[in-house]
Amino acid sequence: MSDIASETHVQRNKIAAKPGRKPKEVWKFFTPIGQKKDGHQSCKCNYCPWSQTRGEPSSMEAHLALSCHKAPIDIKEKFLLMIKSRGENQIINLEEEKSILPIKRKRSYQQSITKYDYDFKHKCIELFNKRWQEFDINLYLLAYLLHPNYRGKGLLPTVFRNIYLLAMKIWVNMGGGETSSAKLISQIRSFYLRDIEFDYPFSNNEDVITWWRMCNPVPDEENHIQKLALKILSITPHNAGCERVFSILGWFTNKRRTK
């Protein structure tokens, strides 16, 4: 064996003897040069003068497959197939990443939005409930019930008890008694049900006060609902203790009311 071949054999044995990762198959076709530096080994092609200061298996494979004209055909074909297979796998992995990444981003976005949306709705509900409790909503509902164009349309049956109690409370403060309070509630029910004595048409060209003044289904001394309606629907902001509450009540009696 020549001195050069002996030295090459010794170098390969040194590489194989050192612990660590197993050398790539491509190293069989390259000769190590010198000692390793910073974990990298220089190399030279066994078929041509091509060399590399830091032997990188991918570059070495590409050299044998594409650049080395003296390498045997079977060696070139072998590494061409390896490079092709690796490239196809990289493309597949890239395509999978491209298809999966938007899904992951969308899922993460939806989760963050869902949490944010829940927190936002929960906070809004708390604020609305807090503001809602600051108002005497039953007074709004009573005014809505006594409006001849609406007559409590859409009100749930569960709210009528509180509306009736408020109506009786206001009626008592106006000087009414127990007997007249019972008649008042009966008249409110008849008005709500559009019984014949209260089934007068309402025109958007007239105001609510005028309609109630013309509503005389019973003698004046027994027309309790008329007195209550005129009292409630005549409230305006300038003579109310709570301007925010009664300014809205004023909308029922002027042109600002909804059609």
Residue ranges in the chain assigned as alpha helix (H): 3-17, 57-62, 73-133, 137-146, 160-173, 178-192, 208-214, 224-233, 243-251
Domain match, 65 and 170 both: no
Domain match, 245 and 141 both: yes
Backbone angles phi, psi at 127, to 5 degrees: -70, -40
Return all residues near 50 (Cβ < 8 A) that are at least 6 apart: 44, 63, 67, 68
Please report, for residues 45, 46, 55, 69, 71, the alpha-carbon distance to residue 50 in angstroms, rounded to integers and kept in the order given.
6, 9, 11, 11, 12
| 259 in any annotated domain | no
Domain match, 185 and 246 both: yes
Domain match, 115 and 202 both: no
Look at residue 5 in the predicted model and tell me its pLDDT.
47
Domain match, 109 and 95 both: yes
Kindly give the parts of the chain with pLDDT less than 50: 1-2, 4-5, 8, 10, 15-17, 92, 237-240, 259
| 206 in any annotated domain | yes
| 76 in any annotated domain | no
Look at residue 22 in the predicted model and tell me its pLDDT.
74
Contact 144, 152 (CB under 8 A): yes
Domain match, 61 and 91 both: no
Please report, for residues 164, 235, 239, 246, 247, the alpha-carbon distance to residue 242 in angstroms, rounded to integers and kept in the order given.
22, 11, 9, 6, 8
Q: What residue type is 216 in one-letter code?
A: N
**pTM summary value:** 0.43
Give the distance from CA 257 to its chain's centroid: 35
pLDDT tens per residue across span 61-83: 888 888 888 888 888 888 888 87
| 258 in any annotated domain | no
| 82 in any annotated domain | no
Domain match, 114 and 185 both: no
| 16 in any annotated domain | yes
pLDDT tens per residue across span 173-198: 999 998 999 999 999 999 999 998 88
Domain span at 247? 137-251
**Among the three residues 40, 71, 102, which one is the final residue of a domain in this structure?**
71
Domain match, 128 and 97 both: yes
| 60 in any annotated domain | yes
**Among the three residues 38, 71, 104, which one is the final residue of a domain in this structure?**
71
Counting the structural domains of the chain, the total is: 3
Domain match, 54 and 108 both: no
Domain match, 92 and 125 both: yes
Domain match, 165 and 200 both: yes
Domain match, 17 and 48 both: yes
What span, in angstroms and rounded, lies between the C-alpha atoms of 137 and 132?
7
| 257 in any annotated domain | no
Look at residue 68 in the predicted model and tell me its pLDDT.
86
**Among the three residues 42, 71, 100, which one is the final residue of a domain in this structure?**
71
